[in-house]
Homo-oligomer: A and B are copies of this chain.
Amino acid sequence: MYEIIDASLRAFVDVEPDSDFPIQNLPYGIFSTPEGGVRAGAALGSWVVDLHVLERAGLLPAPAGPALFGQASLNAFAAAGRPAWNAVRARLAALLSGSDARLRDDAELRARALVPMDACTLHLPFEVASYTDFYSSEDHATNVGKLFRDPANALTPNWKHLPIGYNGRASSVVLSGHDVHRPMGQLPVAGGAPEWGPCRQLDFELETAFFVGPGTALGSRLDPDAAAGRIFGMVLMNDWSARDVQRWEYVPLGPFQAKAFATSISPWVVTLDALQPFRVDAPEQDPVPLPYLREGDRHAYDIELSVELGTPNGASTTIARSNFRHLYWTMAQQLAHHTSSGCNLRTGDLMGSGTISGPSPEARGCLLELTENGKRPLALSDGATRDFLQDGDEVVIRGHARRGALRVGFGSVRGRVLPAIP
């Protein structure tokens, strides 16, 4: 099913050994240059491979269809489905390694098709159809439950039976590098009326997310194995959260404005093909879930995740290290559950993992957990402390997988906190 590029293959251009984007990765994104329009590319080392140039030169295979890559989003390519994804990926590996010499040996084409990444402006890779966020880390849900509910029964009774999720706000999904104004909102006041003001408990959430390729019809359901076949690829995500606003507004219908002001994603969409070498067992599930959530091929990926907090004075501190493999519910189960009522999926649906925490104290994926709701401020490398984010702080989430000499990375998602607009 997956198109795996042999670990020994080398690109005909130089790629730094510690690059997130070797030829075994080839993540997709959307970019523009001053002289060209907005189009699709694949990252290779410090280059962007211009897929529209390759497409117009007739070098990409027919299953991808005409002009899939001259558009301002990956939606059309994602909708084309796995046969097209596999054919394009296999051809790119051949062209970029030189085993198919048509690109390597054509200097004029090569000059047009390989664009230095630092000359490119990156754009949102997808037109986001809808955005759903899950809550699939057992450690995260347990830590939050201990803070706000019953420490002895931190997980809600439904948690181990279904991948809890909620609909998020799609309009405010932004690209890495977009700076985020601290939101205004209603702030709870103990026992009294709320105040209106800038959020005082601004937080990040360390997440990954995936984009849906081909959609489904209303009324149809996917089992987890079929659902996995609809996943186009993954990004890193920072689900910015206003904790004080959230605490006040979320009963009984869930988060709303507390998470509606911005959700940041990384620009390069890493395919599941590129992640296959990093398969590991997913956590065992007890109790065994209902049959519609059982997987024939249950697995996770070993993706190391980190969060760096930069302060206005220029210091930066790695404040969290976690791993995608900690998630209790897999992407396939999340997607199967999302169709369980007959709810239809659409190409470009963005599905967030929820905060990815792990069992160790440093593997807590948000400040709410890291500081125990502000009670234990974090010490930063410059001697400053943080309970929640301050104006000027920059959050950088990074992720990569590695096995031996093979490294497949996501790059980063970053965003700086700007002052509230009163």
Contact = CB atoms under 8 A, between A and B. Distances in A.
Interface of A: 129-130, 135, 149, 156, 158, 161-162, 164-172, 174, 181, 183-186, 193-194, 196, 215, 218-219, 221, 242, 245, 248-258, 260-262, 287, 290-292, 337-338, 340-346, 349, 421
Contacts of A161: 186, 193-194
Most chain B CB within 10 A, of A167, A251, A287, is at: A167
Contacts of A338: 257, 260
Contacts of A421: 219, 221, 342
A213 to B, nearest CB: 15
A184 B218 contact: no
27 contacts: A130-B171, A156-B251, A156-B252, A158-B186, A161-B186, A162-B186, A164-B256, A166-B166, A166-B254, A166-B256, A171-B218, A171-B345, A171-B346, A171-B349, A184-B340, A186-B290, A196-B290, A196-B292, A250-B253, A253-B254, A253-B255, A254-B255, A258-B341, A260-B338, A260-B341, A260-B343, A261-B342
A350 to B, nearest CB: 12
A217 to B, nearest CB: 11
Q: How many copies does the complex hold?
A: 2
A265 to B, nearest CB: 14
A198 B170 CA distance: 30
A215 to B, nearest CB: 8
B342 A181 contact: yes
A171 B343 contact: yes
Nearest to A219: B181
Nearest to A128: B130
B256 A167 contact: yes
A166 B259 CA distance: 11
A249 B342 contact: no
B219 A162 contact: no
B158 A337 contact: no
* 7 closest residue pairs by CB, A with B: A254-B254, A260-B343, A167-B167, A257-B341, A166-B253, A183-B341, A261-B341
Nearest to A197: B290
A129 B171 contact: yes
B290 A158 contact: no
Given A129-B171, A194-B158, A290-B196, A254 B252 contact: yes
Contacts of A167: 166-169, 256, 260
B256 A218 contact: no
A261 B343 contact: yes
A130 B345 CA distance: 14
A249 B218 contact: no
B343 A165 contact: no
Contacts of A252: 149, 156, 164, 250, 254
Nearest to A257: B341
Nearest to A185: B341
